[in-house]
Amino acid sequence: MSVVVVGSLNMDLVARAARLPGPGETVLGDDFATIPGGKGANQAVAAARLGARVAMIGAVGTDDLGDALLDVLASEGIDASGVARVADRPSGVALIAVDEAGENQIVVAAGANATVTPEHVRAHEAHIAGAAVVLVQLEIPLPAVQAALEVARASGVRTVLDPAPAQPLPDSLLQLVDIAKPNESEAELLTGVATHDADGAHEAAAALADRTGGIVVVTRGAQGACWAGPDGRGDVGTYAVTAVDATAAGDAFSGALAAALAEGAELPEALELASAAGALATTVAGASASLPRRAAVEELRAGRAR
């Protein structure tokens, strides 16, 4: 049941307002919070709360924010022996604006995350080789992401890529991915296929699956998700919830997907669990605070997917 997450750790600085600002515009907010986050750490916590044994590989500064981020991993039972302390860079931060409908805008300052190298990843090869699933994102340098995927592939470990933040990716990296999980905008960037409706999302999933040779799951927010791969294609329902903040919904989905796959779940079962986790994450403000535990996910699954 082990998952290794190779990725970012950030402190999220979250401001809430009635609406999000446009370019060059200032809006008045009504709340502020400092919340541990980062796509890598969020996904590690999400997987741990779903019952996986989790190890994290990444980097933080030697500042107070780094101390706080490591404390979060420890409190969740996550092995942080692969997280370096970097003296000459601050810990990463994310500046997040959230509107009253739960939509968000995010700017990430990488800080120590930018120091993660292929050498650092390979120094923890034993963690990766002993895992059931390796989960990566794109908030650390691409060479480090590729190194993690290469080590996992050489060790016969299943790989999951959350290609966020969106950026073009070489085929040499994509072909190391067993399951890619872009959202609609990321899928559109990677394929050039418009994803404004279900047909487009399916077409983009199939086009990206042709590049990876594996499975591609395109998440579509309140519309659920769709997937494509060598064995066909399908859709994933979502759940009726009252959204408050969508900040970590994608991370909840990815972490839950990795946890379910590490348990040995087949893809449809793993996607159903991930969909429920992602939906629940929108009902609570903040990143790590919103990541649901297994009991809550199973309770929601007992209801009806729409």
User: Between residues 35 and 193, which one has the greater pLDDT?
Assistant: 193
CATH number reported for the structural domain that contains residue 288 in this entry: 3.40.1190.20
Considering 162, 178, 245, 251, which one is annotated as catalytic? 251
Residues 6+ apart with CB under 8 A from 114: 89, 140, 141
> Residue 245's pLDDT band (boundaries 50, 70, 90)?
confident
Question: Is residue 106 in a domain?
Answer: no
- The number of distinct structural domains making up the chain is 1
Question: Is residue 58 in a domain?
Answer: yes
245 flagged as catalytic: no
Question: Is residue 137 in a domain?
Answer: yes
Residue 303: per-residue pLDDT: 79
> Residue 120's pLDDT band (boundaries 50, 70, 90)?
very high
Question: Is residue 107 in a domain?
Answer: no
Distance from C-alpha of 178 to C-alpha of 153, rounded to nearest angstrom? 9
* Segments forming the whole domain that contains residue 286: 2-8+38-91+114-301
> Residue 284's pLDDT band (boundaries 50, 70, 90)?
confident
Q: What is the mean pLDDT of residues 261-289?
A: 90
Question: Is residue 16 in a domain?
Answer: no
> Residue 304's pLDDT band (boundaries 50, 70, 90)?
low
Question: Is residue 97 in a domain?
Answer: no
